[in-house]
Amino acid sequence: MNLDPSLQLILVVGLAAIAIAAVVFVFFSPKFAGPTARLKNLEAGRSGAAAQAQAGTSKQNRRKQVQEALKQVADREARSDKRLTLRALINQSGLDLSIEKFWVISAVTGAITTGITYLLGLPLYLSILCGFVGVFGLPRWFLGFVRSRRLEKFLTDLPDAIDVMVRGLRSGLPLSDAMKIIAQESGPPVGPEFLEVVEGQRAGLTIEQGLERMIDRVPLQEVNFLSIVMNIQSKTGGNLTETLSNLSKVLRDRRKMKAKIKTASQEAKSSAAIIGSLPFFIMGILTFLSPDYLTPLFYTLPGNIMLIGCGVWMVLGILVMWKMINFEV
């Protein structure tokens, strides 16, 4: 269809005006907006900048709190590396025993050990040496054995206790009530330890302070993890249920890893046990076949010196093998 040239000119000019208006609207609309629109745009920009600044500040605060928590962990580990005091050893073993009663039991053990070894025919100085071991060695070894067994039992039951706490929080219970359930339903040592935390709340302590006191009685990294989670969560907030659930999974994974390491090192441990027991086995056979063959080792001074030297070297060898086949996770 042929249009009149004047109409064509008007149409071209109109389309060009529309295009120019569209370009102006796209690039310069904020300038032509009214005061209210410009105010809204400024407020939106300021709120966005404030949100970004607040998010950055929140991240910095959280990072700072995590660094402080990790520094506290390092300080606790540095303190735990020091030699355990007798009071701390008794507390961590879970025995209701005073220091005075412990030394009385140690003295009685030493006297019994000295008397038995002397009646068996050992020289007096060797009997006194055995009595010294009975006073300062056997009771502490027994405390260490009870302590290790208690810590292992606590480590086994802790993930289940955290799961109970998670289920309680998901059902709407406060954290303190969830800990009360653990204290009432769990057996020792987990139940009594959480009961100490609950009783500490009644005395005015926070949950974080109660968990820090628990670390002194149960010096495990897993308890340290729980204390860090609670400490950071109380300062920064967040989903405590999800955090505790993840912690329970991590603790179970650590336990599986320890079991794998124990299985992998079992062959070396068996070899060490065989090598360590072989001298005693041979001595028992020789004593049975020829009772007088080893008599000079026990009733002459050179024989006693040889026995003491062999015992020292055996202990050193066992300690070296023990260090080689034990790993920290």
Copy the structure tokens of residue 183. 């204290």
Residue 107 to residue 114: CA distance in whole angstroms: 11
Torsion-angle region of 94 (φ positive above 0: left; ψ -120 to 50: alpha; else: beta): left
Nearest to 162 by CA among 70, 256, 251: 251
**End-to-end Cα separation, the chain, in angstroms:** 88
CA distances from 121 to 116, 176, 309 (A): 9, 62, 20
* pTM of this structure: 0.63
pLDDT averaged over consecutive 10-residue blocks of the chain (329 residues)?
50 50 45 43 48 54 57 56 76 88 92 90 85 90 92 91 90 88 88 90 85 88 87 78 89 87 79 82 86 83 86 84 69
Residue 102 to residue 81: CA distance in whole angstroms: 24
Q: Helices (DSSP H) in 171-300: which residue ranges? A: 175-185, 190-202, 207-217, 221-236, 240-264, 266-289, 295-299
Q: Which helix (H) or strand (E) holds 14?
A: helix 5-32
pLDDT for the residue 105: 93
Q: Residue 111: CB partners within 8 Å, gap ≥ 6? A: 131, 134
